[in-house]
């Protein structure tokens, strides 16, 4: 490996279905790396979520953040912060705290239909590149505290923040990714109304586009983009947007591709990456073996791809392809969990993916 050592990856199981889907993803990653001839991962499990509150008095203990800083990447299970007791419920949730602490500015969310799946738009094959630190999400756009406040009991104010450096780096992320895909970027904004804030986002993205003459670029208003996604999702390649717009569009794209249960994502900076499924913790089915691990498995595969790209590691990159191929081969063969119309349990689906990963690239 280019790192001259095995990768050291963190595991945070989270809440709800997290303790089921995260270990399933670890099994698939281990199998894919072995099949690619890579060194096995050194996994380090770290406390996070409701169990961490019970044992450590914090949903995201300081010791967890300290340990994460020394690792090559992390798998984060879903959290159910809405169910935490106060004061933890009102605090920044664990994933938000990690993103903010490590400045994970890029939230990368692919949406691609599965052959044999139940996609509304099976030709969907796009990636939402979402700016993760500013925009209209008040829990992320200030150094301390949040961007929400109430001067009176009847008035609530929220400010959005847009800065040139943050837009420049997310735009570069989008254009670099487009070069690995189909060389097209769509900038989503609302500059016709939010002329200064969203206007800055659009202008800076177009400035960065000048450095990528090989990548086609266009821009679309956020409201029009929802219509375009519904009508012609297959026409889009890489979509770059501020935080809230990107969040909305990626959930919509995930549903078009099949469901949020298959929607993966990573949160990354230039030197750190965290795999995290786009969906929630589904406490109603926790512990029943019904959870669909697809999104978490694919997110772990994205982490392998990020490691392969950052370190020039062909084996990690190969393992990443094996993960996605294995998931798609399983679904194509009719193996899926109940939310997708199948009968497989969480462990049975993971085993089917491991079997196909081990058998070789499909």
For residue 249, what is the domain's CATH number?
3.40.718.10
Q: Say which of 80, 137, 237, 318 is annotated catalytic.
A: 137
pLDDT bin (cut points 50, 70, 90) of residue 1 is very low
Residues 134, 249 within the same domain: yes
Domain that holds residue 81: 1-108+263-362
115 domain residue, yes or no? no
* Tens of pLDDT, residues 287-330: 999 999 999 999 999 999 999 999 999 999 999 999 999 999 99
Q: Rounded to two decimals, what is the model's pTM?
A: 0.93
Bridge partners (DSSP) of residue 109 are 128
Catalytic, 247? Answer: yes
- Which domain-ending residue is among 205, 229, 257? 257
The phi, psi pair for 339, rounded to 5°, reads: -65, -20
Per-residue pLDDT at 362 = 45
Catalytic, 7? Answer: no
Does the pLDDT at position 275 exceed 70? yes
CA distances from 136 to 98, 244, 330 (A): 19, 6, 39
Yes or no: say if 98 and 65 are a contact pair by the CB < 8 Å rule.
yes
User: For the chain, how many structural domains are there in total?
Assistant: 2
Query: In terms of C-beta density within 10 A (0-12 exposed, 13-18 middle, 19 or more buried), how is residue 82 classed?
Result: exposed
Per-residue pLDDT at 4 = 61
Residues 128, 246 within the same domain: yes
* Tens of pLDDT, residues 144-181: 777 888 999 999 998 899 999 999 999 999 999 999 99
Look over the chain and give the mean of its residue pLDDT values, rounded to a whole number. 93
Residues 233, 125 within the same domain: yes
Catalytic, 190? Answer: yes
* Tens of pLDDT, residues 218-262: 999 999 999 999 999 999 999 999 999 999 999 999 999 988 888
Q: Say which of 247, 305, 318, 339 is annotated catalytic.
A: 247
311 domain residue, yes or no? yes
What DSSP string runs through 56-92? HSSSS-HHHHHHHTTSSEEEE----GGGSPTTGGGSP
- Which domain-ending residue is among 214, 235, 257? 257
Q: Say which of 103, 125, 219, 251 is annotated catalytic.
A: 251
Yes or no: say if 291 and 21 are a contact pair by the CB < 8 Å rule.
yes
Catalytic, 223? Answer: yes
């Amino acid at each position: 490996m280019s790192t001259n050592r095995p990768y050291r990856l963190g595991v945070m199981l989270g809440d709800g279905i997290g303790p089921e889907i995260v270990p399933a993803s670890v099994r698939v990653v281990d199998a894919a790396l072995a099949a690619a001839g890579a060194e096995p991962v050194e996994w380090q499990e770290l406390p996070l979520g409701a169990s961490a509150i019970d044992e450590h008095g914090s949903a995201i203990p300081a010791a967890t953040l300290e340990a994460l800083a020394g690792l090559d990447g992390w798998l984060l299970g879903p959290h159910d912060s809405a169910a935490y007791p106060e004061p933890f419920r009102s605090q920044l949730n664990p994933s938000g705290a990690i993103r903010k602490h490590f400045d994970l500015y890029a939230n990368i969310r692919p949406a691609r239909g599965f052959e044999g799946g139940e996609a509304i738009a099976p030709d969907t094959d796009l990636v939402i590149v979402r700016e993760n630190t500013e925009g209209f999400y008040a829990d992320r756009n200030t150094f301390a505290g949040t961007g929400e406040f109430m001067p009176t009991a009847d008035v609530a104010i929220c400010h959005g923040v847009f800065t040139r450096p943050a837009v420049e780096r997310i735009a570069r992320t989008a254009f670099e990714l487009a070069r690995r895909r189909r060389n097209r970027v769509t900038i989503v904004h609302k500059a016709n109304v939010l002329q200064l804030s969203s206007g800055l986002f659009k202008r800076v993205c177009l400035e960065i586009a000048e450095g990528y003459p090989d990548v086609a670029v266009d821009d679309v208003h956020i409201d029009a983009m929802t219509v375009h996604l519904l009508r012609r999702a297959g026409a889009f390649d890489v979509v770059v947007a501020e935080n809230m717009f990107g969040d909305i569009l990626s959930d919509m794209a995930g549903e078009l591709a099949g469901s949020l249960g298959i929607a993966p994502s990573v949160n990354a900076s230039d030197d750190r990456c965290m795999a995290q499924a786009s969906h929630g913790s589904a406490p109603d089915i926790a512990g029943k073996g019904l959870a669909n691990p697809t999104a978490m498995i694919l997110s772990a595969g994205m982490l392998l791809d990020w490691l392969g790209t950052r370190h020039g590691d062909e084996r990690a990159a190969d393992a990443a392809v094996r993960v996605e191929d294995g998931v798609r081969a399983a679904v194509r063969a009719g193996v899926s969990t109940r939310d997708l119309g199948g009968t497989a349990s969480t462990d049975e689906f993971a085993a089917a993916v491991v079997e196909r990963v081990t058998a070789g690239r499909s």
